[in-house]
Amino acid sequence: MPTTVKFAVPKGSIEEVTFKLLEQAWQSVSGRGRTYRVKLGDPEIEVKILRPQEIPTYVQEGFYDVGITGRDWILEAKANVQILLDLEIGRVKQIFAVPTSFPYNNLDEMISDFAKSNRTLRISSEYLTTTSSYIKSSPAYKKHFGSADPMIITPWLRVGENKKVEIFLSFGATEAKPPEDVDAIFDITETGTTLAQNNLKILDKVAESTAVLVANKQALKDPVKREKIADMVALMRGVVEGRKKLHIFVNVKKENLPKLLKELPALKRPTVSPLSEDGWYGVNTVIDKNEFIRVVPKLRKLAQGLVVLEPKQILPLDEINLDGYS
């Protein structure tokens, strides 16, 4: 009986881009929209949709062998998982923001002012442990409160001894909380537009996060699962690389071929084939998308019949490293 690899994929804000990636990697994804369990083209992979906040812990504990989640949630959960591949989707910034009417330019100024006036600083966030660590790293916090942990407040739990800095668990719409409910937020943003619409300004860009493929470390020690996970990495990496490239085809006269290859260093290891018409060659190769605009003027002068395709995947098929990604 074949070994099944259990795969957790995220629901919510990065769900759409995740499933586009899965569809490109496996060609077939079925069952989505009717259930939390979907099927890929590979019957040896069992997929379930979960909230991205849960995935790091569930993969760490071995409920799932692999999962897709944000770097931000791995840090928040302090999860001991292996990061295998940056999927380069779901890119967001973790930020600390306050109302635009506040006079502060940075976190230290705010903490010092609240401490000196003996006011309680209240912060809203979904990232409780990350926010606490960030606040405690402030020199002003260390000066006024030492190593005391800020008070973390949820409907079911209160931890931390410093009641002068309180971090409230947010269940969404965090940017709507100030100034009536809290003084500041620790949140994520893509463009900052929603923050501006809610009259908030960013005091600090704390970190950047993308969605990554992670694995349970024990699963990687299983030879059968390790091979299947390596296949999964190859397929998804092929999609990530394919999105950065263009496949181009051009026809060129024999006398222009040397000049074309010399003047276009972007055309790395092209395939050159004689055409049915004597004196003409076909050239096809893969280039970076950001080189395309620079290449077109030269191609227009030296070649004819440019065809451009966006590859679904580019698979180098070399050895996949499962021992760590940075």
For residues 131 and 207, what is the distance between their CA atoms, to the nearest angstrom? 12
Position 314 scores a pLDDT of 85
Q: Are 8 and 50 in contact (CB under 8 A)?
A: yes
SS3 322: coil
Q: Are 64 and 47 in contact (CB under 8 A)?
A: no
Position 265 scores a pLDDT of 63
Q: Residue 134: how many CB atoms within 10 A of its CB? A: 22
Position 324 scores a pLDDT of 62
For residues 17 and 211, what is the distance between their CA atoms, to the nearest angstrom? 10
Delimit the domains of the chain by residue range: 5-89+210-242, 93-209, 245-309
Q: In b/e form, how buried is each residue of 18-30, taking b as 16+ CB within 10 angstroms?
A: bbebbbbbbeebe
Please state the pTM of the whole predicted model: 0.89
Nearest-CA neighbor of 88 among 189, 231, 208?
208
SS3 151: strand
Residue owning tokens 């949820």: 154
CATH of 245-309, one of 3.65.10.10, 3.40.50.2000, 3.40.630.30, 3.30.70.120: 3.30.70.120
**Diameter over CA atoms, the chain:** 87
- Helix or strand run (H / E) with residue 282: strand 280-288
Nearest-CA neighbor of 213 among 45, 20, 59, 77?
59
For residues 220 and 204, what is the distance between their CA atoms, to the nearest angstrom? 37
Each residue's pLDDT tens digit, 251-305: 999 999 988 888 776 666 788 999 988 999 999 888 888 888 888 888 888 888 8
For residues 202 and 180, what is the distance between their CA atoms, to the nearest angstrom? 18
Q: Which residues of the chain have pLDDT under 50?
A: 326
CATH, range 93-209: 3.40.190.10
Burial class (CB in 10 A: 0-12, 13-18, 19+), 59: buried
Position 326 scores a pLDDT of 41
Supply 38's token pair: 């979907």
For residues 39 and 47, what is the distance between their CA atoms, to the nearest angstrom? 6
Q: What is the DSSP string of 219-275?
A: GGGSHHHHHHHHHHHHHHHHHHHHTTEEEEEEEEEGGGHHHHHHH-TTS-S-EEEE-
Q: Are 44 and 3 in contact (CB under 8 A)?
A: yes
Supply 311's token pair: 């590859």
Q: Do domains 5-89+210-242 and 93-209 have the same CATH topology?
A: yes
Q: What contacts 221, CB < 8 A, 6 or more positions away?
A: none
Domain 5-89+210-242 class, CATH top level: alpha beta
For residues 181 and 173, what is the distance between their CA atoms, to the nearest angstrom? 12
Position 163 scores a pLDDT of 96
Position 321 scores a pLDDT of 73
Supply 63's token pair: 């409920």
